Amino acid sequence: MAVQVSPFAAGCGAQISGVDIREPLEAADRDAIRKAWLDNLVLRFRGVPMTDAQHMAFTRQFGELEFNPAKLIEMKYGVSTQTDGRKAEIPPEISVISNIIEDGKAIGGLGDGEAFWHTDSSFVDVPPAASLLRSLECPPPSAGGATSFLNCYAAYDDLPADTKKRIDGMTMIHAATHSSGGKAHRGFETVEDVSKVPGARQPMVRTHPETGKKSLFLGRRINAYVLGLPVVESEELLDELWDHMVQAKYTWTQEWQVGDLVWWDNRCAMHRRDAFDPSMRRLMHRTQLKGTRPV
Ligand code: OGA
Ligand code: MN
């Protein structure tokens, strides 16, 4: 078996080497990669520029492909949030994350700004289990655009016992109103009362379906609401949990190179992205694996 797993010193993440993931995997390599993913939450493969077809074929060896989030939002909420300049030939299982404008239209989502801490698509009832993001074009690290990952198991484990007791079994709404860049999705612009926000009901503490471990599961901060609490108390509790959760000790930061593929466990890791120099091009394609209903 060729797979080598080199965990990073931070709270999550490992570099995987020794295997060409553009080729079909031997069963033992596939199992080793899967285990490394469950153990380390985030995997990085470096120096593997690939096509969409190779990216999708690699992903399929670990489960069923999920559609891109605009498609998921359209299916659940009946509104279109797809960027105008998306290329018709790109399969619906590929998300395009880019600041590139062609003919006056954005070819992908998220622009060049900061993306705030989030779980991908947890505003639908069954969010993806995994996201696999690959870099086709990116600015040098000195121009920004790094992506950080957060170990939500560790953040949960370190909570005071009384906080754990309080939130275990609580449900919250993961609002569908905003992108991770903080931009309102078309059709979701006005929210007067967060307790009535459109979104999915999710457990605040999630038990991972494969590892059995518990993690904090907060989605994104904007328009979040803890069911059963007055809005003021919900805001206080969420602020307290977020302050605790986003400590640097739980995070690892990826500085991108062209040909990187980073694969995170969307059930127990969150991520954010730094803004970057708007004069530079950044183009990422992403596949996702279908998940299971959070419990
Ligand atoms: C994502 C995402 C961050 C980035 O692909 O889900 O949040 O680095 N991307 O572009
Ligand atoms: Mn994301």
Q: What is the 3-state secondary structure (H, E, C) of the chain?
A: CCCEEEECCCCCCEEEECCCCCCCCCHHHHHHHHHHHHHHCEEEECCCCCCHHHHHHHHHCCCCECCCHHHHHHHHHCCCCCCCCCCCCCCCCCEEEECCEECCEECCEECCCCEEEECCCCCCCCCCCEEEEEEEECCCHHHECCEEEEEHHHHHHCCCHHHHHHHCCCEEEEECCECCCCCECCCCCCCCCHHHCCEEEEECEEECCCCCCEEECCCCCCCCEECCCCHHHHHHHHHHHHHHHCCHHHEEEECCCCCCEEEEECCCEEEEECCECCCCCCEEEEEEECCCCCC
At 69 the pLDDT is 86
pLDDT at 223 over 80: yes
At 164 the pLDDT is 98
Task: For residue 59, report the phi and psi dihedrals to the nearest 5 degrees.
Answer: -60, -40
pLDDT at 1 over 70: no
Domain boundaries, the chain: 4-289
pLDDT digits (tens, 9 = 90+) for 198-222: 999 999 999 999 999 999 999 999 9
pLDDT at 233 over 90: yes
At the top level of CATH, which class does the domain 4-289 belong to?
Answer: alpha beta
Instruction: State the distance from the centre of ligand 1 to the C-alpha of 97, rounded, in angstroms.
Output: 7
Residues lining ligand 1, CB < 6 A?
Answer: 97, 110, 115, 120, 131, 133, 147, 180, 271, 273, 284, 286
At 124 the pLDDT is 92
Q: To test the ligand 1 pocket, which listed residue (273, 274, 281, 286) has its Cβ within 8 A of the most ligand atoms?
A: 273
Q: Which pTM does this prediction carry?
A: 0.96
Residue 56 banded pLDDT, cuts 50, 70, 90: very high
Instruction: State the distance from the centre of ligand 1 to the C-alpha of 273, rounded, in angstroms.
Output: 7
Query: To the nearest whole number, what is the mean pLDDT of the chain?
Result: 95
Q: Whose CA is closest to atom 6 on ligand 1?
A: 120
pLDDT digits (tens, 9 = 90+) for 24-48: 999 999 999 999 999 999 999 999 9
CB of 172 within 8 A of CB of 224? yes
What average pLDDT does the segment 134-147 reach? 98
More confident residue, 247 or 177: 247
pLDDT above 90 covers a percentage of the chain that reads: 85
Number of the ligand 1 atom closest to the C-alpha atom of 284? 10
